[in-house]
Amino acid sequence: MAWSIAEVARMSGVTSRTLRHYDEIGLLPPAWIGSNGHRYYEEADLLRLQQILLMRELDLGLREVRAVLDSRADRVTVLREHHERLLSERNRLDTLVRTVGRTIAALEDGNEDEDTMAKTAKINRPENLFEGFAPSAEVGAALDAEVRERWPEAWEEARPARESMTAEDQERWQREVTAQMVRFAELMAAGTPVTDAVVQSEVDAHYRAVSRFWTPTAEAYKGLARTYVDDARFRANFDRIAEGLAEYQCDAMTAYADERLS
C-alpha cells in the first residue's frame, strides 16, 4: 500500500514542504513518483519517517539523523535508545507540569489589586519557577547547529559576531529575545492584527536584532519565519510563552518581509 505526500503530511503532522525538503537532501526519498508528479510513500518510508521524527524530537540535526539512518544500525537497538531518551524527556516534562501547577496555585493565592486587576504572586521559593526547563545553552547549541546546516552562508556571516559574544552578552541577548516573545504574545492575546504598526515595529526590532549577525533577504527572512513554525524545537520555545505564538510571529515577519524587504 502507498500513501500520497498529502496523506503522509496529514498523518504525521509534517508539512508537505518539509517532506519535499527531506527528499531533496536524500533523507527520505519517496518510494516512487506518479505520472502526476506526486510523491508516494510505502510502509518502510513511514517507518523511516517515524525514526526521523523521533531523532528530531531528541534534538538531533538533519546530518546526525542521516548518519544514524545510513549506518544501518539495528532498528530495535536504535529505537530502544530513543525510548530511553523519551522516558527521560517525559520525566522532565512531568517536572515542568508540576512547576507550572505550583506557579498557577501561587498566582491564584495572590492578592488582587482592584485598580489594576493584577495579581501578585506569593512565591516562597523563586527557584521553583524554573525547575525542569532545559538549559538555554543546550537549546542554543541545537539551534545553532540547525542554522549552520540549513543556511551555511548566513552561519558563516554571523560567526564573527557570534564568537565575539561573552557569556554575559549571550545571557542578555536571551533575556531580550524572551522579552520580545512575551510582547508578541501580549499583542496576539489582544487580537492585534499582524499588519498593525505596533506589531510591525516589534518585527522591525526583531529584524534589526537578527541583522546583528546576518542580513536576511526577504525570502530568507520569510524562511526563518517558517522555521519558527515547522521546526519542533523552535516552535516549542514559542509555545512555552503562548500557544499559537509561532504562527502569529511567522505571519507578522512574512508581512514585514513583503512590505519592507521585497
- Whole-number pLDDT of residue 81: 75
Residues 142 and 251 both lie in one domain: yes
pLDDT at 29 over 90: yes
Residues 241 and 225 in one domain: yes
Most confident of 54-63, 83-92, 116-125, 190-199: 190-199
Are 53 and 123 in the same domain?
Answer: no
| Cα radius of gyration (the chain) | 21
- Rounded Cα distance between 74 and 90, Å, is 24
Residue 87 has pLDDT above 80, yes or no: no
In a domain, 77, yes or no: no
Do 32 and 60 lie in one domain? The reply is yes
Q: Which domain holds residue 143?
A: 135-261
| Last residue in a domain, options 16, 49, 70 | 70
Q: How far apart are CA 203 and CA 217, in angstroms?
A: 14
- Map residue 13 onto helix, strand or coil: coil
Quick one: 223 and 144 in the same domain? yes
Say how many domains are in the chain.
3
Answer for the pair 128, 106: CB distance below 8 angstroms, yes or no. no
* Domain shared by 128 and 143, yes or no: no
| 149 and 203, same domain (yes or no) | yes
12, 49 Cβ separation under 8 angstroms: yes
Beta carbons of 134 and 174 less than 8 angstroms apart: no
Q: What percent of the chain has pLDDT over 90?
A: 28
**Paired strand residues for 190:** none
- 120 & 188 share domain: no
Residue 75 lies in a domain: no
pLDDT level of residue 199 (50, 70, 90 thresholds): very high
φ, ψ (nearest 5 deg) of residue 40:
-130, 140
What is the pLDDT at residue 40?
95
Whichever domain contains 28, its CATH number is 1.10.1660.10
CATH of the domain at 238: 1.10.490.50
- Residue 135 pLDDT: 44
Q: Going by DSSP bridges, is the β-strand pair 111-112/119-120 parallel, antiparallel, or unpaired? A: antiparallel
> Higher confidence at residue 251 or residue 130?
251
User: Is 165 part of any domain?
Assistant: yes
Flag whether 18 is in a domain.
yes
**76 assigned to some structural domain:** no
What's the pLDDT score for residue 130?
A: 44
For the residues 207-211, what does the mean pLDDT come to? Answer: 88
Identify the band that residue 254 occupies on the pLDDT scale cut at 50, 70 and 90: very high
Residue at a domain's end among 26, 41, 70: 70
Is position 78 within any domain? no
Q: What is the pTM of this model?
A: 0.47
Adjacent-strand bridge partners of 42: 2
Residue 160 pLDDT > 50: yes
Answer with the one of 42, 70, 98 that is the final residue of a domain.
Answer: 70
Averaged pLDDT, 172-189: 84
Residues 189 and 244 in one domain: yes
- Shared domain for 163 and 250, answered yes or no, is yes
Task: Please check whether residues 9 and 39 belong to one and the same domain.
Answer: yes
Residue 45 pLDDT: 92
38 with 63, same domain: the answer is yes
